[in-house]
Amino acid sequence: MTTRTTPCAGSEAAETEVILDLDDISLSFGGVQALESISFDIRRHEIRAIIGPNGAGKSSMLNVINGFYHPQKGTITYEGVVVKAMKPYHAATRGIARTFQNIALFKGMSTLDNIMTGRVNHMHAGLLAQALYIGKNRREEIRNREFVETIIDFLEIQAIRNTPVGRLPYGLQKRVELGRALAAEPKLLLLDEPMAGMNLEEKQDMSRFMLDINEQYGTTIALIEHDMAVVMELSSRIVVLDYGRKLADGKPDEIRHNKDVIEAYLGVAN
């Protein structure tokens, strides 16, 4: 695999169809307004970044997209269908996978089992077949194991295949979590600060994985990240949130020179 310096799929992808459209989304907890009439869309095959200062509502945005929070106002259109009161597992069956800001792996299980768990919606053997480990279940287990092994190879984590994830260092845990999300073969992959707390080398690895995922599997990625260099390099379009409102939306170059964004980030008064 080669490292790359040019911006990826982004520019061509800008013309593809909209996979997810968010229109006028508002979300509040008690009296606190977390998101205020936010609208933007994500196009198929692009890498879309969501940025903003802490508490801007970025994670809430991802939670709305995958059905963990239900906005009080606004419509979500996914693949041309308006989705209402979707549960997280519905989102998963429709091809939305995600990783978390604070790693949410299954600590008692091995790397292999964690990633295998990501395949739940690709396995359909009945209870009896599972109880006796025969027929469809045996075939499914082996077929999915083969698929999971390709992910393990792809993420270069062969050596920790059988290690309980609770024992892995932070960077590897992040990688396993990405693997678990990938195992679902998602159409839309939501990544919540995939590089937080990583050193430069790990960030480079992670960037490479993201680009390869985007390219090889054609996965659409929505990404929250604080590292501006990474965001500018990877993403095709960026939406900027601040205090629950949308501040700007556009290509990296436009965002780089947007006055409001610079103010929000540097805190320049007027």
Partner 1 sequence: MDMLYNILIAPFLEIAKSPSFFAEVVIGGLMSGVMYSLVALGFVLIFKASGVFNFAQGVMVLFAALNFSGLLDAGLSIWLAFPLTVLIMVLLAWCIERLVLSKLVNQQDIILFMATIGIGYFLQGFGEFLWTGNVRKLDVGIPQDAWFFGDIMIQQSDVFAAVVAGILVIVLALFFQYTRIGRALRAVADDHQAAMTVGIPLRSIWLIVWSVAGFVALVAGIMWGSRVGVQFSLSVIALKALPVLILGGFTSVPGAIIGGLIIGVGEKVAEIYWGPLFGGAIEEWFAYILAMLFLFFRPQGLFGERIIERV
Partner 2 sequence: MFYREAGDFKTTYKADQAIFPIALDRWFVVTVVLVFLVVVPLLASNYMLESILTPVLILSIAAIGLNILTGYAGQLSLGTGGFMATGAYMAYKISTAFPGLNIVFVLIAAGLCAALVGIAFGVPSLRIKGFYLAVTTLAAQFFLLWLFTRVPWFVNNSISGVPTAPPRKVFGFLVSSADSDPIDRYLFVFIITVVLALVAKNLARSRIGRMWMAIRDMDIAAEIIGIRPLTSKLTAFAISSFYCGIAGALWSFAYINTVEPTAFDINRSFEILFMVIIGGLGSILGSFLGAAFIFLFPILLNVMPGWFGLEISVTLVTQVELMVFGGMMIFFLIVEPHGLARLWSIGKEKLRLWPFPH
Q: Which residues bind partner 2 (CB under 8 A)?
A: 66, 68, 87-89, 91-93, 97-98, 100, 104-109, 113, 116-121, 123, 125, 127, 130-133, 137-138, 140-142, 145-146, 149, 180-181, 184
82 is a site residue for partner 1 (CB under 8 A)? no
Which C-beta is closer to partner 1: that of 32 or that of 266? 32
Q: Over the chain, what HEC string results?
A: CCCCCCCCCHHHHCCCCEEEEEEEEEEEECCEEEEEEEEEEEECCCEEEEECCCCCCHHHHHHHHCCCCCCCEEEEEECCEEECCCCHHHHHHCCEEECCCCCCCCCCCEHHHHHHHCCHHHCCCCHHHHHHCCHHHHHHHHHHHHHHHHHHHHCCCHHHCCCEHHHCCHHHHHHHHHHHHHHCCCCEEEEECCCCCCCHHHHHHHHHHHHHHHHHHCCEEEEECCCHHHHHHHCCEEEEEECCEEEEEECHHHHHCCHHHHHHHHCCCC
User: Which of the listed partners (partner 1, partner 2, none) does 97 bind, with a CB threshold of 5 to 8 Å by partner kind?
Assistant: partner 2
Which C-beta is closer to partner 1: that of 33 or that of 101? 101
| Minimum CB distance to partner 2, residue 130 (Å) | 4
Residue of 82, 104, 134, 159 interacting with partner 1 (CB under 8 A):
104
| Minimum CB distance to partner 2, residue 93 (Å) | 6
63 is a site residue for partner 1 (CB under 8 A)? yes
100 is a site residue for partner 1 (CB under 8 A)? yes
243 is a site residue for partner 1 (CB under 8 A)? no
List of residues contacting partner 1 (CB under 8 A): 29, 59, 63, 68, 100-102, 104
